[in-house]
Structure 1
């Protein structure tokens, strides 16, 4: 299909539609109810008072008496004016239980009292309203009625209101960009998930309360609007020259958090995905970066239609790259919104990892069109059903779009190993967790919901088989289409498919298995102890914790349904990913018979499909070490990565001698694959961070340089942009570690390339820019930093801006780092609010900047939290600043910060609890392992 590139039409024929007139004028000087205080009309003497009770899960939920059916939402955002939003809403509801009040969600909105009308839909008669009130603690707008409504009555509540285009990147918010002429251009966009639709219009803002939405958006004629559906008609705004209304087709039944709007001057690029009109939008200067996301989107939308065997239900799919966006992207049905770095790709400026990020984020959001949008969790407790499935399906989808990237191999090091680290803390949480308050809901948009969710789904995908998995998913999606469901609903349909296909015993359900993975915190380590002859092994499980001896460890001993897969040296076969046995809560000990003799290794968890670690007896570890040293290719590449990660983390937890774990790494001199290297260096990075401020750092640095130098010499500094994707990843890993560790040739080459780029315009490979920039700025003083800042201000490509922001945090000049942090949290400094986290992380990752970042965070907590608002960003800052804490003094500072700011931590509460636990773990680790590792390093240096 031919691609068409066009400026969004601002004019065109005026079409009059048969809708409610769009005036929204005449009421704005009347009495009003705002969200700042409880204000009531004076028509009653028995007005209920605002609830002041301590928040609980129950009282933050709406009453169950009403179910919304249809919304008419009309908004006129003054994007280029005073940022007000003039609005009108009509909510058609059916009464499920007798009630004498109507409770909605509302935040930062002013309702005009004389416009509040309630009608009986059947006869259009007005129903008497006694009074209304606003409860700010729960963001409830409560309308009290003179008479009780009976069951099955359908009513329509309507009102006019005024909102505000905020600058907080939530609700309906404003954004800007500077065009090629230097003009500042305004736009507006939305981010409603999870609880911010109520900031745009009064609504029943819970995921299960789905309805149809008929949206009208007013715009100035030179701009364009977008919403979930296509525009049905456009007409002038009565009495307002230069303004028009875009009236949209009514949506399918959907949740409030998926409603979306954009008002901008963006351009678009279109293609067809089957019968779906697929468009990508961006600011005009960035449209040349939109082709790749369009290609991926079109390919993957049709692939998912086939995979789920369910057609995409909307007539169009728009994707928009925004200059300001809090998250990476948001899956609004038919109108997916992105950060520029997550949707735009420039072959000249973007690296292989940038390209992969665009592909994975696009595929992730498209997977949501079925998982999350078509079928939605009944409540945020099961957020993981949204995010875990999308995070798993992004690998399935990208593997289809880019098969040479070996995404299923990458899953292990990208997702599984990453979340293992977080889920090995006492302060982790189950993937399915009760939440009520908006702060609690925002808190669980974290690695456990996304990455643990994806990892246990991947495990299920393998033990059920792909065919059974797909069958169960399709049946589930069809049964609950346009409705809401809980995890038990999914388990039911997967169980039925599994029993039909005989992939689970008839007396075992998916719920039996998966409840242990979704309702319990953490994961097990499976211990394998072979007998003297090696022909049998005792297999047990225990929760894996990084510091089992932590003083506040609970006495609970959870156990899981663990699928066991195994192969051995006598007949290695890594394709048998269906379990041959199970460890279960009822059988904590299992005897495996028929193993080879004691001189042949066994290996469990083939392709690391299970969400657990494996520890062996000393003899089996020796045999695995020998196999890797002699012929490592015999072991599957994913299991080589598993062995690296398991061994080094078992050592970190005190369950394996570091001599054994570090000894395994010697084989890496022969390793040519990316994933085992990534697993090893990711785990070794912990040791490196703990040693940074110790006398043992010198010997460790020497050892790590000796380890990485053969790989550095093999891949070289000459980048091949046409080479294999994972070869490019491997080169980036080798060069970044070499320069970080001070490899003289790497540091010199980086400085030379940076200098030649500045003097002669000689391009640096996009894959190597992060390493070159950081290394050159670290050693280049103020001049190099100011050069990078100028490049940042001039850059038109989001990923280049992102790279430079990170690289400027590499400077060793303390005053520059301090100023940089100041700028990051100052409006108008040149650093966007969404990028403050990037700057903070860059400074905190710098050995020189770590305490500057921590002191800045402690001393400016109130300012920072106010500047960034909610969601998960605040928790990330705490994690970045404290990642290397390993002394009693640092622990005391953390605990003091926690106690001092307990009432203002909000969404950062869990993050600081995890930081405290991690610091205690680090202290314990230093006490237990520091000297042993130093002794081992001395032995290596002496050739012992």
Structure 2
């Protein structure tokens, strides 16, 4: 907590133990410390006037923390990777009907807590980065200096920020005179969601047409008020782009502004721009993901991009944009805007990819499909001899498999790949994990000596329990009870949910919600979520939550926001009509939960609706492509 003069932390957010913590833990601690230090300016020196502008505190602290980490340790690539992580969270969470605007009216005490969500933190950081990109570094810094000095030891709202940045932007010529920051940014802060930019190229005239509409994860739109361009879903969008022959992924400033003018009611707007490109050259918008929007191209341009990605010079496309192309293609095919043939043909290039960010984007989306498809007969297509094996095997070998050392700088990359490899029994992953775990199991003093390498522990613990018996589970539970390092305790809590033994899972659920348990209330969500991620644990967790809701309410001291968060961990895995009907019956029987955490509950229910919609509308196309190739 960013108290001025006395910052306070949970132990796991401050304490790094070299003998027990992983490199990922080290980065997490550094990020949190940087975030709280940034609050000394954004939140303490200048405080928002009211809760509707909480993002001025949390969005800036989130963004400035990445700048600090980048300067502190360049080998972490914190700025690029945190920016991508923030962007992916926003593009996912802000695509639902139940999302909210960054700045919205807050009039009840119960609404204060709901402001502390990914929209405030992550989307706040994303739009601040967008301003940084379209104004330029010098203008951005001068504008912020003016804002902080002008409102030091006082309060400000977003209009005060816009005013300071506009003055700097016009002074240094980094923004057209006909635009100001408020006119642009109000479209990003006062309405929910973000745009889908659709690009149609005229390959004869060398031009492109671009238009916008709100992107929704289910592919369905809602007609809004005719007289309000903001509520209809219209944004001022900075459009940067580059072309294959003269590829330039360092020029992030906008070459075109897709405008949203209050005098123009025919939405979506269209803009045309001469390209000077040849017909066999790809075009890519949103250089280095400068703004939160998705891009859909015409089929010819998608095919030109795919051809380059599958060729030997795919690295000509910036790493962040390779991640963007994967993320956009899979999201667009999820909701029916793009056929899966194009999306999955593009994805197959990743067998050549060694960089972390494209893999992070790919596996983030495949995780969602995995959660749904594991409950169907098509799950065999994900098994090691098929689709995922084809994608994962080259990178698993390249990163050294379950060997202690990995190539390159990124431990998180190796962890991500190994988690999938062990989950799908790829190569020797499970065998090596069990060997590591057994050495620990038979050691004379397992609390003092742990032979499992720190950077492999999250993979080893989970894989070993997935293969192990009750004695393996009891051993790890005892290590949790005896552990003194907070990061190790958090790691073990999640791994304990990996077991496939039904009665052990049921016992673990009882332990999690027992008032006298050694599991702290702040870690309940962590442990419960780990159980829901298992195809065996999910129905057990769902039934336990629904059948023991009164007990859980007491255990969590009637914290309905936390209860709604647990509900979301369940609904993310619901995709069958039976489970959905069960969910609706549960909500009908517990109206108090919906009343006290309205948006959170509706958001959780929408997750299940979206999963069900994909399974009914898109799964057959997805599996048809897989069956044709595997």
TM bucket (normalised to shorter chain) is over 0.9
1:545 counterpart = 2:216? yes
Alpha-carbon separation, structure 1, partners of 2:529 and 2:491 = 12
| 2:553/2:563 contact within 8 Å kept | yes
1:831 deviates by 1.2
Q: How does 1:319-338 map to 2 (within 5 A)?
A: 330-338=1-9
Q: Paired residue for 1:365?
A: 36
Q: Residue 310 of structure 2 corresponds to which residue in structure 1? A: 629
Deviation at 1:757, TM superposition (A): 1.5
**Alignment partner, residue 706 of structure 1:** 390
Preserved contact between residue 874 and residue 907 of structure 1 (Cα < 8 Å): no
Asked if residue 751 in structure 1 is aligned to residue 405 in structure 2, the reply is: no
Deviation (angstroms), 1:450: 0.7
Within-5 A mapping of 1:730-741: 730-741=413-424
Structure 2 runs not aligned, ≥5 long: 226-230, 444-448
Match of 2:273 in 1: 592
Residue in structure 1 matched with residue 232 of structure 2 by the alignment: 557
On the 8 A contact 1:413/1:678 being kept in 2, the answer is: no
Checking the alignment, whether the CA contact within 8 Å between 2:351 and 2:390 is kept in structure 1 is: no
Q: How do 1:508-907 residues align onto structure 2 when only pairs under 5 Å count?
A: 508-533=179-204, 535-549=206-220, 557-586=232-261, 588-630=269-311, 631-701=313-383, 702-719=386-403, 724-726=408-410, 728-760=411-443, 763-869=451-557, 870=559, 872-905=561-594
Q: Report the alpha carbon displacement of residue 930 of structure 1 after superposing the two structures with TM.
A: 1.4
Structure 1 residue 886: deviation in Å? 1.1
CA contact (8 A) 1:395 1:411 kept: yes
Q: Distance in 1 between matches of 2:536 and 2:404?
A: 33
Deviation at 1:719, TM superposition (A): 4.8
Alpha carbons of 1:867 and 1:439: their partners in 2 closer, same or farther (altered >3 Å)? farther
Please tell me whether residue 488 in structure 1 is matched to residue 176 in structure 2: no
Note the C-alpha offset of 1:859: 2.4
- The alignment's TM-score, normalised by the length of structure 1, stands at 0.63
Residues 629 and 907 (structure 1 numbering): CA distance in 2 closer, same or farther, change over 3 Å? farther
| Aligned partners of 2:398 and 2:407 also within 8 Å | no
- Counterpart contact for 1:440–1:907, Cα < 8 Å: no
String of CA shifts for 1:203-238, please: whole Å, max 9, x gaps: xxxxxxxxxxxxxxxxxxxxxxxxxxxxxxxxxxxx
The CA distance in 1 between the partners of 2:259 and 2:213, in whole Å, is: 12
Is the CA contact 1:443–1:871 (under 8 Å) kept in the aligned structure 2? no
Counterparts of 2:289 and 2:237 in 1: how far apart (Å)? 12
- Which residue pairs with 2:50 in the alignment? 379
* CA deviations over 1:479-523 (Å, ceiling 9, x no partner): 111111111111111111111111112231111000000001100
Is 1:465 equivalent to 2:148 in the alignment?
A: no
CA distance in 2, matches of 1:906, 1:732: 40
Shift in CA distance, 733/907, structure 1 to aligned 2, threshold 3 Å: farther
Report the counterpart of residue 446 of structure 2 in structure 1.
Answer: none
Equivalents in 1 of 2:560, 2:140: separation in Å? 33
Larger radius of gyration: 1
Report what 1:408 is aligned to: 79
Query: 1:721: how far off?
Result: 6.1
Give the conservation status (yes or no) of the 8 Å contact 1:439–1:871: no
TM superposition shift of 1:724 = 4.5
How many pairs were matched up? Answer: 610
936, 940, 943: which is aligned to 2:625? Answer: 936
Kept in 1: contact 2:399–2:407 (CA 8 A): no
Task: Report SS of the residue matched to 1:526.
Answer: strand
Q: Is the strand fraction higher in 1 or 2?
A: 1
Tell me the SS of whatever aligns to 1:335: coil
Superposition misfits of 4+ residues, deviation over 6 angstroms:
none
2:143–2:164 contact (8 Å) kept in structure 1: yes
Residue correspondence of structure 1 range 298-447 to structure 2 within 5 A: 330-447=1-118
The residue number in structure 2 matching 1:291 is: none
Please state how far the C-alpha of 1:891 moved relative to its aligned partner. 2.1
> Do the aligned residues in 2 keep the contact of 1:809 with 1:817 (CA within 8 Å)?
yes
Q: How far 1:799 sits from its partner (Å)?
A: 0.7
Counterpart in 2 of 1:16?
none
Structure 2: distance between partners of 1:568 and 1:775: 45
**Alpha carbons 2:218, 2:335 under 8 Å: kept:** yes
Cα distance in 2, alignment partners of residues 524 and 822 from structure 1: 44
Q: d(CA) in 1 for partners of 2:96 and 2:508?
A: 33
Task: Please tell me whether the aligned partners of residues 857 and 864 of structure 1 are also in contact (alpha carbons under 8 angstroms).
Answer: yes
CA contact (8 A) 1:574 1:636 kept: yes
Q: 1:554 to 1:353 in 2, by over 3 A?
A: farther
Aligned residue for 1:336, secondary structure, equals coil
Greater relative contact order (CA < 8 Å, ≥ 6 in sequence): 2
What's the secondary structure of 2:257's corresponding residue? strand
| Contact 1:522-1:544 within 8 A present in 2 as well | yes
| CA distance in 1 between partners of 2:497 and 2:196 (Å) | 38
Distance of 1:924 and 1:795 partners within structure 2: 44
2:469 alignment partner, SS class: helix
Unaligned runs of 5+ in 1: 1-329
Query: What per-residue deviation string (whole Å, max 9, x for no partner) do you get for residues 430-475 of structure 1?
Result: 0001112222110121011110111111111100112111111111
More helix by share: 2
Q: CA distance change for structure 1 residues 363 and 922 in 2, over 3 Å: closer, same or farther?
A: same
Deviation at 1:722, TM superposition (A): 8.9
State the alpha-carbon separation in 2 of the partners of residues 447 and 453 from structure 1.
Answer: 8
Between the aligned partners of 2:543 and 2:8, the Cα distance in structure 1 is: 35
Secondary structure in 1 matching 2:349: helix
Q: Which stretch has the larger CA shift, 509-518 or 525-534? A: 525-534
Deviation at 1:865, TM superposition (A): 3.1
In 2: Cα distance, 1:871 partner to 1:859 partner: 16
Residue 484 of structure 1 aligns to a residue whose secondary structure is strand
- For 2:490 and 2:596, the matched residues in 1 are separated by 25
Secondary structure at the counterpart of residue 54 of structure 2: helix
1:650 deviates by 0.7
> Which shifted more, 616-625 or 821-830?
821-830
Query: TM (normalized to structure 2)?
Result: 0.94
Match of 1:831, SS? coil
Aligned to 1:318: none
